[in-house]
Amino acid sequence: MGWTRGDRELPVVGLIQGLVIMALAGLPTLLSAQQRPVPFAPGMVITASTRIAPGSYRIPAGDSVGIVIRGSNIVVHLRGVELVGDSLRTRPDRFTRTGLIVDGGRDVTVRGITIRGVKHGIIARGTRNLRLLDNTLSHNHKPRLLSGIEKESLVDWMSFHQNEKGEWLRFGAGIYLDAVTGGEIKGNTVRQGANGLMMTRTDSVLVWNNDFSFNSALGIGMYRSSHNRILHNRIDWNVRGYSHGFYHRGQDSAGLLMYEQSSHNVVAHNSVTHSGDGLFLWAGQHTMDTGDGGANDNLFYGNDFSHAPTNGIEATFSRNVFVRNRIEENWHGVWGGYSYQSVFLGNSFRNNFEAIAIEHGQDNRIAGNTFEGDSTAIRLWWNRLEPSDWGYPKYRDTRSRDYVVLGNSFFDVRLAFRVDNTQRLRVDGNVFRGVDSLTRLTGDTTGWTLVPATGGRQAPSPVPARY
C-alpha cells in the first residue's frame, strides 16, 4: 500500500489554503498599522497599538505632555515623528515639558520617536516589560553652568544622594524609568542634555547599544536599581567642572552613577570615558546610617573607564568585582574608600596619578593587573579620625587590613606601594620592571609580606576562566 500522487497533494493544498486564510485574517491589522497612521494631537492618550503620522509637531505652551501611553500589549510606531517643546533658541534650563509618558501597563514598545526642547524626553512609571527602541532624545533640558575658565563655581556641583521622593526629576533626563521591571532599552541616543538615562527602583532591564554621551551631568544614573544589564553602550564625555590647566573637579558628574543599594548588576563592554567620574558607585544613605547593605555584587567587565578628570572608578562602602577593564589617564584609576571583599582582576592601569587608592578597605584582592606609567600604583591607608556624623564606622570595623596582591605586573611606575596603617598585606608573585621605588611604608604595617615572582617571571594569570 502507498500514497497516490493525489493523496500527497491534498494535504499540501489544504495547508496552503490554511496559510492564505490566516494571512488574510491578519491583513486588516497589518494595513491598519502600516497604512492608517493617526494624526498627532497634543496630550493624546494611546491605549492600543498605533502608528502616528510622520511629521514635526509642537507641544503647545498650555500642554505639559505630548503623548501618554496607558495599557498593555501596545506597540507605538513613531518613526519620522518629531515632538518639539521649546525652540532651540530658548535657554535649555527653561525647558519644562515632557515628550512622552508610559503610565503603567505591561508589554509596551515605543519605537523611533525624536523629542527635543523638553525637560524629560520619555518617562515610564510602573511598567513591566518596557521596550524603548531607536529613539532620539537629544538637545533637551540642561542647567546653566556658572564655572568659568580660571575658577569653578560651587553652585555647579551635583547631588544625587536622595531620590526617595523623585528628587532626581528636577534635573531632567532623556529617559526616566521609575519602578520599571523587565524590558529593553536599545538603540537610543541622548546627547546635549543634563542626563541620559535615569533609573530608580528599576530591575531586570537590558540596556544595550545606546549612546548616552556629551551630557553635562550623567550618562546613566541608577538608584535602588538591581539585576540590570548595561552592555555595549557609548557613555562618553558626560562631564562638568573641568578647565584644562586650571581645575579638574568633575563636580559629581559621571558616565555611570550607581547609588543606594543598586546591586547584582552586570556592566560590560561599555565605553565610559572623558566623564567626571567614569563610574561613581556609592552604597547609599541607608548604609551610611546603619552600616548595613551597600551597592554590592555588581560585575564590571571589559569597560573603558579612562580619561576622567577625577576617578576612572569611584566605588565606596561596597563589595564588587572589576575584571579586565581599561583604566587610563585618570587622577585616580580606582578610588575605593571603605571597599571590602572586592576583587580587581586583570585590569589595565596606565598613566594614572594613583592607579588604586583605597582607604579603610578590608579583605580585598588585587590580582593579575598591569600597572604601567602610574605615579603610584597602589595606595592603601587608614585615618584615625573619621567623620563624627557617619553611622557607618560606629557599626563596622573600618581598619585597613587583609589584602592579597597577587601576580600583577608593574612597569615604569614611580612608586609601586604606598601603605600607611594597613595590616596583613601579602604581596606575592608580582613582577617589577623600571620601578623607581618599591615601597613606602608608614604607621602600623604589621603582617606586611613580600614574596617575589619565581625566576623573575610573572606568575600565571589568576583571572578565572569564567571571566
Domain that holds residue 397: 336-467
Residue 129 in domain: no
Joined grid coordinates for residue 87 = 525652540
Identify the CA nearest to 280 among candidates 260, 297, 258, 261: 258
Local confidence band at 160 (pLDDT 50, 70, 90 cut-offs): confident
Contact between residue 274 and residue 236 where contact means Cβ atoms under 8 Å apart? yes
Distance between CA 326 and CA 303 in Å, rounded?
6
Distance between CA 204 and CA 244 in Å, rounded?
39
Residue 282 vs residues 111, 185, 286: alpha-carbon distances, Å: 33, 24, 11
User: pLDDT tens digits for 367-415?
Assistant: 999 999 999 999 999 998 888 889 999 999 999 999 999 999 999 999 9
Joined grid coordinates for residue 132 = 524603548
Number of domain units in the chain: 1
Residue 207 vs residues 13, 189, 228, 324, 455: alpha-carbon distances, Å: 46, 12, 8, 20, 46
Local confidence band at 143 (pLDDT 50, 70, 90 cut-offs): confident
Indicate if the pLDDT at residue 436 is higher than 80: yes
Joined grid coordinates for residue 462 = 589568576
Residue 212 in domain: no
Residue 410 in domain: yes
Residue 438 vs residues 230, 367, 379, 400, 431: alpha-carbon distances, Å: 38, 17, 12, 20, 11
Whole-prediction pTM: 0.89
Half-sphere exposure in the Cβ direction for 423 (13 Å, CA): 4
Distance between CA 264 and CA 320 in Å, rounded?
9
Distance between CA 447 and CA 312 in Å, rounded?
30
Residue 38 in domain: no
The residue ranking higher by pLDDT, 162 or 34, is 162
Residue 175 vs residues 168, 169, 191: alpha-carbon distances, Å: 12, 11, 11
Indicate if the pLDDT at residue 26 is higher than 70: no
Predicted confidence at residue 466, as pLDDT, reads 56
The residue ranking higher by pLDDT, 199 or 6, is 199
Contact between residue 202 and residue 150 where contact means Cβ atoms under 8 Å apart? no
Residues contacting 181, CB < 8 A, separation 6+: 127, 128, 129, 202, 203, 204, 205
Residue 382 in domain: yes
Identify the CA nearest to 436 among candidates 390, 373, 370, 391: 373
